[in-house]
């Protein structure tokens, strides 16, 4: 228990070394000095609280909020000193806010506990004591041998020991981890692959040494030492041996694996993303307003305290005859009395800080986020995917975006590759009707209609069929020798691949005659024009972003050792020493200009001596536990040299639907679009032109292929000069990765100046971290613009997390981008609806909510301050304590909440069809200083009208009530409070444009509820109340006709100025949004008029048709009039006979 506590506090971390040693089946060494390592259990914990820490931890988190902590201090002050209001007035609203938030967070955590218990209690089978034992998932320990059957999910991270296949391979889908639906092949080492029974596995003596847990799903470094009789065999372990928790076993009956990472140390758990810590601009504005109102509060409290003592300087007011001081009060310290009075005034005016603002905003964000998921316009039917909200904290930020950073492949394009062209031995080819045809030849020409392949063509296609990670549907592998077409080509096989490029190339090769038919053990099978060939797969040199290529070493049927390599032209051409290099480079550039994705393909032959040296180096690098990646990179570079270039491929990735329209709409909305891609310069520019990111009339500026700081700086200065000279036309900038690194190193300011003066920016050859750097650079610039990043792949995650708003595309490159995003959509075109409609609505709603909250609290507390001038600053309260408590909780809370959920000041179709309306809310326009000042001044103005209007109309009348009683202070306070509740509710009604039955219910219902509550509260003697100052006050107030006249007059006077201001501004200085509202209103009137005319026309036609038909029908003896749609059916069976 003590060790667990130390681990939780971070004093005793479970891992002391860089590696862990795992004894399979937990057969530890027998010598006494061995101390076993401690590993985590297999429980998954996604919950935040426990039963024991929920109350203290939740309270701590809630009181970290300034407003909550402030009201706690006020509540404690009310308990400690004699204050004018009851502690309940602060304590009850605080308790309500804390309780509602705690219930919400507790319920969410209970759901997480429930999900955790379901996962941790799942049944699993482990090998123990020579047999299979059924246990719960949470009981698996590191070192246990676990059995997993077909279609089951792996309960821990396992190293594969054996499967039901002879070669020890199995197929896995990782869709729940990275979204990739293709089948991945994992293999066991040969020494354990033969152990296919529980009895044999129970006898296995082996040790695994591997790295400590890390979050990277695609990295695993380890080795296994198997003891066989007197010798020990060491084999390397990599990602191909590791089965990840959450992945699912497919096309394999069962596998056995040893648990290496358990519970919260599995890669899936380490990739859990905590809630986004991003803060919206609205939240920052809200905190600024709170500070300003806190200053106003302190000013009012200090001023009131000073004026109190100034007033009491006269002896007659210091101790009036009706309120004499006690001896203790006369002898108390003046400083202590001053502090006590200051705190009392602070308590009296504290409601100017709206405590319920936080909980209302939280409820609005949480409930409002459901509208995105429910929006059918954001639903993609083909993939059955809805929009997804991962955090509701940034809803309003969608309405403030100034820059959009987008990936290209899979975001602007479909990521569905189609083979278009290739270059083989310096000759360009196209696929025409399943045949590889040289450029310039048609199918009918003599050279175009061939049934055989040249040697270079065949070698090129074999390289395409052997150098890949493509898998074949297991149901088809048995039928590979099935029906053949007349030209000797097999019927199409169903391929699976993690890369759409690879799948497109292998499918193209199969169509033209060289078919990849699958793998069998360590062999790859290919059929060239119907002739089967088997290549032994010796080594795979995996793809990595730094090398930008992958290779395979195979043994041909003739025994020759061959290396096949494919990758970006920048990584293949410099390593090639022979072949048509110059012609291929020209062809690659031509392909790129057409917007095609290019790959170069090369090969190399090894002598027996060279291959022996390569095998030795690879084994040493792969079995190393330290710096394995660096050693492998060195060996790969040693192998992939002196290549002979075979050719290049051009694959088309077509644009997504409505990409061009979406980018143009973003531009009209005042949003600048930057495309950040890893593609080569020519391809990226071509796609930018085709998708409308660059216009044909735009002046394209380039900052590419710079190798030194001096040349980069000189080019930047020239570009800045050109922009100033040609400021009339639009400019587009193209930057590559190497030039960007130089520009950001020492010329950041100049680079940003050039970029900001360009309408569109394209960054190509970008590494993932470079994407994040560009976003951070713009995000932290002096203007502090709001940025949005959108992408679909793992390489976009850093960019998505860096931007103010991150959006993941549910594409074909996995779900990492979606998991790490704030919002997820199925297609790029949905971005316009998300920003222009949802973003616009969310911002308007929450901006009005925040301003309205401050306004109604100014209205609420300013009369309290003014009242002190009439009661010698004696700290007498104007309102009853119950009204103080319920004002924000009950009387005025629901109308603004419903407004913030349903308000649509302009129709959604208008917002989407007129992107320029987005400019009206940009740069936090509705929460700037001017709107804040307007709402604050309006609040003070209304408060003055409430107070002095009531005073002038009623204050001097001593016999106003029907029974002749005097008009007392509680009656006066209730009148002010009644006028205030009606006015602030009507003010919310004036702000509402979109009325539903719910708006009507809560708006008028709030006013009715206030009257009913006041009648019951003041009309009954409540036994649990110590004093009841309000008894019969409200009933007497409503019995006075003058009071009703005063209420109506004051409410109209308050709202008249506001209505007048709205009318004048709408006619003299209308915004684009207000113009759209007027046009929408006129359109609705015209539509109603047209409907009226149509109904009138239909009625006349209906009547005339019915009369005519009845005339036709009478000769046949029919007496029932027939009209409408039935008329046509009776004309023919019963015609009139003249």
Give the residue numbers annotated as catalytic, written as ranges. 407
DSSP type of residue 332: S
DSSP type of residue 212: P
According to DSSP, the residues that pair with 532 across neighbouring strands are 527
Distance from CA of residue 531 to its chain's centroid? 51
Rounded Cα–Cα distance for residues 507 and 515 (Å): 8
Rounded Cα–Cα distance for residues 399 and 404 (Å): 12
Residue 466 region, left (φ>0) first, then alpha (ψ -120 to 50), else beta? alpha
Which residue from 907, 925, 836, 926 is spatially nearest to 1079, judged by alpha carbons?
A: 907
CB distance 27 to 144 below 8 Å? no
Rounded Cα–Cα distance for residues 978 and 1047 (Å): 8
Q: Which residue has the tokens 């007498």?
A: 876
Rounded Cα–Cα distance for residues 649 and 597 (Å): 8
Which residue from 571, 606, 564, 570 is spatially nearest to 468, judged by alpha carbons?
A: 564
Residue 274 region, left (φ>0) first, then alpha (ψ -120 to 50), else beta? beta
CB distance 403 to 674 below 8 Å? yes
Q: Return the sign of the alpha-carbon dihedral for residues 1099, 1102, 1107, 1110.
A: negative
Which residue from 108, 1100, 221 is spatially nearest to 624, judged by alpha carbons?
A: 221
DSSP-assigned letters across all residues of 396-414: GGGGS--EEEE-STTTTEE
Q: What is the dihedral of CA 66, 67, 70, 76, to 10 degrees?
A: -130
DSSP-assigned letters across all residues of 1002-1030: HHHHHHHHHHHHHHHHHHS--TT-S--TT
DSSP-assigned letters across all residues of 714-733: HHHHHHHHHHHHT-SS-EEE
Which residue from 264, 242, 268, 265 is spatially nearest to 255, judged by alpha carbons?
A: 242
227-247 CB burial, b ≥16 within 10 A, e <16: eeeeeeeebbbbebbbbbbbb
Beta strand 549-555 pairing with 561-567: antiparallel
Q: Which residue has the tokens 């143009």?
A: 664
- Token readout for 569 is 């032209």
- Token readout for 295 is 């200053």
CB distance 14 to 200 below 8 Å? no
CB distance 940 to 862 below 8 Å? yes
Q: Which positions ≥6 away from 807 have C-beta within 8 Å? A: 788, 789, 790, 791, 800, 821, 822, 823, 824, 825, 831, 834
DSSP type of residue 251: S
The three-class DSSP label of residue 1001 is helix
Rounded Cα–Cα distance for residues 664 and 674 (Å): 13
Residue 821, CA distances (Å) to 211, 387, 795 in order:
29, 12, 13
CB distance 639 to 563 below 8 Å? yes
Rounded Cα–Cα distance for residues 44 and 174 (Å): 19
- Count of alpha carbons within 13 angstroms of residue 660, beta-carbon side: 10
CB distance 544 to 768 below 8 Å? no
Distance from CA of residue 572 to its chain's centroid? 37
């Amino acid at each position: 228990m003590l060790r667990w506590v130390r681990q939780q506090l971070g004093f005793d971390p479970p891992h002391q070394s860089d590696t862990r040693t795992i004894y399979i089946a937990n057969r530890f060494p027998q010598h006494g000095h061995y101390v076993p390592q401690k590993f985590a259990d297999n429980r998954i914990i996604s919950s935040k609280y426990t039963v024991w820490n929920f109350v203290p931890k939740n309270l701590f988190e809630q009181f970290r909020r300034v407003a909550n902590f402030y009201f706690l201090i006020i509540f404690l002050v009310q308990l400690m000193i004699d204050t004018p209001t009851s502690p309940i007035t602060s304590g009850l609203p605080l308790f309500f806010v804390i309780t509602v938030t705690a219930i919400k967070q507790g319920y969410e955590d209970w759901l997480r506990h429930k999900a955790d218990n379901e996962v941790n209690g799942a049944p699993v089978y482990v090998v123990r004591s020579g047999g299979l034992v059924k246990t719960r998932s949470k009981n698996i320990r590191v070192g246990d041998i676990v059995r997993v059957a077909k279609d089951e999910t792996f309960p821990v991270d396992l190293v594969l020991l054996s499967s039901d296949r002879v070669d020890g391979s199995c197929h896995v889908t990782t869709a729940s981890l990275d979204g990739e639906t293709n089948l991945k092949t994992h293999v066991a080492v040969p020494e354990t692959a033969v152990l296919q029974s529980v009895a044999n596995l129970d006898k296995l003596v082996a040790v695994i040494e591997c790295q400590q847990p890390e979050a990277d799903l695609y990295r695993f470094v380890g080795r296994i030492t198997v003891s066989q009789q007197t010798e020990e065999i060491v084999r390397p372990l990599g990602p191909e041996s590791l089965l990840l928790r959450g992945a699912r076993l497919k096309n394999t009956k069962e596998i056995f694996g040893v648990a290496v990472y358990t519970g919260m140390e599995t890669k899936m758990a380490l990739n859990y993303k905590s809630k986004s810590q991003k803060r919206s601009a609205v939240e920052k504005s809200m905190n600024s307003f709170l500070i300003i109102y806190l200053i106003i509060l302190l000013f009012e409290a200090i001023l009131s305290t000073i004026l109190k003592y100034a007033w009491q300087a006269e002896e007659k007011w210091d101790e009036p005859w009706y309120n004499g001081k006690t001896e203790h009060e006369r002898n108390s310290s003046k400083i202590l009395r001053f502090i006590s009075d200051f705190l009392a005034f602070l308590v009296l005016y504290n409601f100017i800080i709206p405590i319920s603002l936080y909980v209302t905003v939280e409820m609005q964000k949480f409930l409002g986020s459901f509208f995105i998921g429910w929006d059918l316009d954001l639903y993609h039917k083909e993939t059955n995917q809805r929009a997804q909200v991962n955090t509701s904290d940034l809803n309003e930020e969608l309405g403030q975006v100034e820059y959009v950073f987008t990936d290209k492949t899979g975001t602007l394009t479909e990521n569905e590759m189609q083979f278009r062209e290739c270059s083989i031995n310096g000759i360009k080819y196209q696929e025409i009707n399943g045949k590889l045809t040289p450029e310039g030849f048609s199918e009918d020409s003599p050279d175009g209609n061939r049934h055989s392949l040249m040697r270079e063509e065949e070698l090129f296609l074999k390289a395409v069929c052997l150098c890949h990670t493509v898998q074949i549907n297991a149901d088809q592998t048995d039928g590979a020798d099935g029906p053949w077409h007349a030209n000797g080509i097999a019927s199409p096989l169903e391929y699976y691949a993690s890369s759409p490029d690879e799948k497109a190339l292998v499918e193209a090769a199969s169509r033209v005659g060289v078919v990849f038919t699958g793998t069998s053990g360590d062999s790859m099978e290919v059929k060239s024009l119907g002739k089967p060939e088997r290549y032994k797969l010796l080594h795979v040199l995996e793809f990595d972003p730094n090398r930008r290529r992958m290779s395979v070493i195979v043994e041909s049927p003739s025994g020759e050792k061959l290396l096949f390599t494919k990758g970006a032209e920048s990584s293949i051409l410099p390593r090639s020493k022979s072949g048509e290099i110059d012609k291929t480079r020209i062809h690659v550039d031509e392909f790129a200009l057409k917007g095609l994705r290019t790959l170069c393909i090369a090969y190399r032959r090894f002598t027996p001596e060279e291959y022996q040296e390569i095998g030795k180096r690879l084994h040493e690098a792969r079995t190393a536990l330290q710096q394995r990646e660096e050693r492998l990179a060195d060996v790969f570079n040693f192998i992939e040299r002196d290549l002979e270039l075979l050719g290049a491929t051009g694959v088309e990735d077509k644009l997504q639907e409505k990409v061009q329209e979406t980018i143009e709409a973003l531009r009209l909305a005042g949003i600048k679009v930057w495309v950040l891609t890893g593609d080569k310069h020519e391809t990226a520019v071509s796609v930018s032109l085709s998708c409308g990111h660059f216009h044909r009339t735009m002046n394209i500026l380039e900052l590419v292929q710079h190798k030194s700081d001096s040349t980069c700086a000189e080019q930047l200065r020239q570009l800045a000069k050109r922009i100033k000279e040609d400021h009339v036309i639009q400019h587009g900038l193209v930057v590559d990765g190497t030039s960007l690194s130089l520009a950001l190193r020492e010329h950041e300011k100049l680079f940003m100046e050039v970029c900001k003066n360009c309408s569109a920016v394209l960054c190509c050859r970008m590494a993932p971290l470079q994407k994040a750097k560009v976003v951070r650079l713009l995000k932290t610039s002096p203007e502090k613009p709001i940025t949005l990043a959108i992408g679909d792949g793992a390489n976009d995650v850093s960019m998505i997390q860096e931007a103010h708003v991150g959006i993941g595309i549910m594409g074909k490159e996995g779900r990492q981008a979606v998991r790490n995003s704030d919002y997820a959509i199925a297609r790029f075109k949905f971005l316009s609806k998300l920003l222009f409609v949802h973003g616009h609505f969310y911002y308007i709603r929450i901006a009005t909510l925040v301003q309205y909250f401050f306004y109604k609290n100014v209205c609420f507390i300013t009369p309290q301050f003014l009242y002190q001038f009439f009661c010698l600053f004696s700290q007498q309260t104007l309102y009853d304590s119950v009204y103080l408590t319920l004002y924000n909780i009950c009387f005025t809370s629901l109308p603004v909440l419903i407004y913030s959920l349903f308000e649509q000041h302009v129709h959604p179709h208008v917002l989407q069809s007129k992107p320029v309306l987005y400019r009206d809310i940009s740069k936090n326009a509705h929460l700037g200083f001017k709107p804040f000042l307007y709402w604050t001044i309006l609040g003070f103005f209304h408060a003055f009208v409430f107070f002095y209007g009531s005073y002038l109309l009623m204050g001097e009348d001593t016999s106003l009530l029907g029974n002749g009683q005097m008009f007392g202070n509680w009656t006066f306070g209730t009148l002010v409070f009644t006028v205030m509740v009606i006015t602030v509710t009507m003010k919310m009604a004036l702000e509402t444009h979109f009325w539903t039955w719910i708006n009507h219910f809560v708006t008028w219902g709030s006013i009715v509820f206030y009257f009913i509550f006041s009648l019951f509260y003041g009309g009954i003697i409540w036994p649990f109340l110590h004093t009841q100052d309000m008894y019969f006050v409200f009933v007497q107030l409503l019995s006075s006709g003058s009071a009703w006249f005063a209420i109506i007059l004051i409410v109209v006077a308050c709202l008249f100025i506001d209505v007048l201001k709205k009318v004048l501004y709408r006619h003299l200085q209308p915004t684009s949004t207000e113009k759209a509202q007027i046009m929408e209103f006129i359109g609705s009137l015209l539509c109603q008029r047209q409907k009226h005319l149509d109904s009138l026309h239909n009625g006349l036609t209906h009547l005339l048709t019915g009369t005519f038909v009845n005339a036709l029908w009478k000769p046949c003896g029919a007496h029932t009039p027939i009209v409408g749609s039935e008329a046509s059916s009776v004309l023919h069976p019963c015609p009139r006979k003249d």
